[in-house]
């Protein structure tokens, strides 16, 4: 899978995407991440990429021309060099913006099925709206707060999506984790069995795989009820809860019809 990230601050990406699992995914050729400096596409003497907003007001706006040139150049370069199967597909051109669709595990899963994403990082007051009207295919927010720039948001998307690319992690760990099946994950423990007088739950050292699975599922349900009750109704509506799940939740006072 390919990520092309367009930014005014490429150095911000050194580190977060060049360590650990994402680094290994890149080394294994499962993921390619290229960061492009939008300023390289500015044509005036001062390499200007922003200007004052029409209508007045605070801050600066990222100019359309360098950004459009950067997007066109990346698409042209990649289309010429990528293998046929990828080249025939248009990339998703995603703008990171606080007024976009809220990023979630479901969106990450959907985007991980794409072969190629272009992520556009805004800065200052954001980008000229005409870029959004003409070149952006999707606008994504990582939460209801405002960052100084889209760079951290692009890193969040890249990390969350890249780890879902087949082969990057083992399949089991992705299936069972928080949000992947509409629930939060169960708690984890590792050696030593007793730490600071706290024991590992005995079921986990019992060797009964079926009982361990049942305990974990119940922990997922209990935690989700305690921490994110909103998720349970959604999981039920999506048919993700089994009759056993619903029976267990009933013992905790939750039922599909009655909100707690």
Ligand X SMILES: C[S@@+](CC[C@H](N)C(=O)[O-])C[C@H]1O[C@@H](n2cnc3c(N)ncnc32)[C@H](O)[C@@H]1O
Among 142, 160, 164, 225, which residue interacts with ligand X (rule: CB under 6 A)?
Answer: 142
Residue 148 binds ligand X, judged by CB under 6 A: yes
The interface region with ligand X, picked from 40-48, 82-90, 91-99, 233-241 by CB under 6 A, is 91-99
- Cite the DSSP H helix spans in the chain: 20-27, 64-81, 84-87, 105-112, 129-134, 151-162, 171-175, 209-227, 229-237, 243-251
Which CA distances in Å does 151 have to 3, 8, 32, 122, 141? Answer: 13, 9, 17, 8, 12
Q: From residue 234 to residue 253, what is the string marking binding to ligand X with x (rule CB under 6 A)?
A: --------------------
Based on the shown chain and the rule CB under 6 A, indicate whether residue 145 belongs to the binding site for ligand X: yes
How many Cα atoms occupy the beta-carbon half-sphere of 39 within 13 Å?
Answer: 9
Is 150 a binder of ligand X (CB under 6 A)? yes
Residue 238 sits at the vertex; the CA angle it makes with 107 and 255, to the nearest 5 degrees, is: 130
Q: Report the residue number, 50 or 245, with the smaller CB distance to ligand X.
A: 50
Asked if 146 touches ligand X (CB under 6 A), the answer is yes
Residue 161 or 241 having the CB closest to ligand X? 161
- Choose which of 14, 106, 143, 234 interacts with ligand X (CB under 6 A): 143
Name the residue nearer to ligand X (CB basis): 147 or 212: 147
Would you call 242 exposed, middle or buried from its count of C-beta atoms within 10 A (0-12, 13-18, 19+)? Answer: exposed
Instruction: Kindly state whether residue 149 participates in binding ligand X, applying the rule CB under 6 A.
Output: yes
CA angle 249, 110, 154 (to 5 degrees): 105
Q: Are 71 and 6 in contact (CB under 8 A)?
A: yes
Closest to ligand X by CB, 93 or 232: 93
Which member of 60, 98, 203, 246 binds ligand X (CB under 6 A)? Answer: 98
Which residue in the shown chain puts its C-beta closest to ligand X?
A: 122
Between 101 and 140, how does the x/- string for binding to ligand X read (CB under 6 A)? --------------------xxx-xx--------------
Other residues' Cβ atoms within 10 Å of the Cβ of residue 226: 10
199 cis-preceded (ω within 30 degrees of 0): no
In the complex, the residues that contact ligand X under the rule CB under 6 A are 96-99, 121-123, 125-126, 141-143, 145-150, 153
């Amino acid at each position: 899978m390919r990520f092309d990230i367009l930014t005014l601050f490429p150095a911000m990406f050194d580190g977060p995407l060049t360590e650990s699992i994402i680094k290994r995914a890149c080394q294994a050729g499962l993921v390619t991440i290229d960061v492009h400096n939008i300023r390289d596409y500015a044509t005036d003497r001062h390499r200007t990429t922003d200007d004052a907003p029409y209508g007045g007001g605070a801050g600066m706006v990222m100019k359309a021309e360098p950004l459009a040139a950067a997007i066109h150049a990346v698409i042209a370069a990649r289309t010429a060099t990528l293998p046929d199967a990828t080249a025939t597909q248009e990339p998703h051109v995603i703008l990171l913006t606080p007024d976009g669709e809220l990023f979630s595990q479901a969106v990450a899963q959907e985007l991980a099925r794409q072969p190629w994403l272009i992520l556009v990082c805004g800065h200052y007051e954001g980008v000229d709206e005409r870029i959004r009207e003409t070149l952006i295919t999707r606008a994504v927010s990582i939460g209801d707060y405002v960052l100084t720039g889209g760079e951290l948001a692009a890193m969040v998307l890249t990390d969350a999506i890249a780890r879902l690319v087949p082969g990057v992690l083992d399949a089991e760990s992705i299936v069972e984790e928080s949000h992947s099946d509409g629930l939060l994950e169960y708690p984890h423990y590792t050696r030593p069995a007793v730490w600071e007088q706290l024991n590992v739950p005995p079921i986990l050292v019992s060797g009964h795989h079926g009982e361990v699975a049942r305990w974990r599922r119940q922990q997922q349900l209990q935690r989700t009820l305690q921490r994110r009750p909103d998720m349970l109704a959604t999981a039920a509506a999506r048919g993700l809860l089994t009759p056993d799940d619903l029976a267990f939740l009933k013992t905790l006072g939750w039922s599909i019809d009655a909100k707690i």
